[in-house]
Every structure is written in structure tokens, then in C-alpha cells.
Amino acid sequence: MVGIADEMKDFAQIVTDALTQCQEAIQADMAALHINASGRSSRAFRVRQTDNGVQLVYGSDERIAPLDTLEIGRGGGNVPGGFVVTKSGVVDVSKRFKSILITWAKEKGFELSWGGATMLGRRIAAEGTLRHASPVDVWSTHIKETAKNLQRDIPIAIRAEIRQGVKTNF
């Protein structure tokens, strides 16, 4: 006879599978849309088991873009992570961020020199990103579809468990 603990494992597996598929779809879209300059943001999506169940989480100890920045970019103004403001108030670009920009440029199919990365970084700090003017759907639809699918799949699984219990007990 299947116990409640086993049934809960089945439900947890349904949720884990759905969230893993969601994570993989988001990461595939990020790659297809060339949103992965360094790959840290894509790797920051992960399915995690907690005491309260299974979660799709975004974030890590590394500095990564805020989740909404993946879809809407960033406007100019405030200096984002990867930039430093010198004592004289000049915005400069860290070596790590310059490397990310150079990698991004290669993925887009063009060369970017170290000096070019500095200029591009300063422009991003001042004016924002192009995605800010033309947002893209990276994760919103996947999250909504996953929630909708789970709202459909969990009751189906519960009904199946009830039917099985009725057949077994009577």
C-alpha cells in the first residue's frame, strides 16, 4: 500500500519536473536571444529542494543581473554592478565587466577591443541597454505556463491517487 509520504514524493516529483523544464526553457531562450554574456545569469536559475517543497530560484552569491533586467534591460543613470566611480567621479568599467563585454561581442559576431569595451561600458552606464527600449520575454511566459500546467497536473494526480485508493480499499 502506498503511504502519504510516498504520495507526497510523487507530487514533489511532478513539481520538480515542471520546474526543471521551466528552468531549461528559460536558459534555452537566454542562449537563443544571446542574453548570456558571461553565462552567470543563466546558471543562476536552479531548482532547489527546501523544507517547504521545491522551488525555482534565481540568484547566487555571484553578482548577477536583477531578474527583471533580463527582460527589460536597464536604463541609464545609476551605475550598475561591474562599474566603479573613481575619486574624481568618472565612471570606469571593471576588468571583469570588460571581459564580459568582449565575450558578449564575440557571441554577437564582432570584435571588441579592451578600449572599445571601456567605451561601451561607459555608454551602458550613461544610456542604458537597447533591451530597455525593446523588452524581450525571457522568463515571464515560462513561469506563467508552468504555474498553469501545475494547476492542471496536480489535481489530475490527486484524482488518480483517490481512484487508486478507492480501488485498493474496496
In angstroms, rounded to a whole number, what is the distance separating the alpha carbons of residues 49 and 140? Answer: 22
Could you tell me which residues are beta bridge partners of residue 109? none
Mean pLDDT in residue range 59-80 = 65
Average pLDDT over the chain, rounded to whole?
A: 75
Q: Dihedral (C-alpha) 46, 49, 50, 54: value to the nearest 10 degrees?
A: 80
Pairing assessment for the beta strands 53-58 and 83-85 based on DSSP bridges: unpaired
In angstroms, rounded to a whole number, what is the distance separating the alpha carbons of residues 84 and 92? Answer: 5
- Checking if the pLDDT of 159 tops 90, the result is no
pLDDT at 92: 66
- Checking if the pLDDT of 1 tops 50, the result is no
- The helix (H) or strand (E) run that includes residue 168 is helix 140-169
pLDDT digits over 86-95, tens only?
Answer: 666 666 667 7
pLDDT at 115: 84
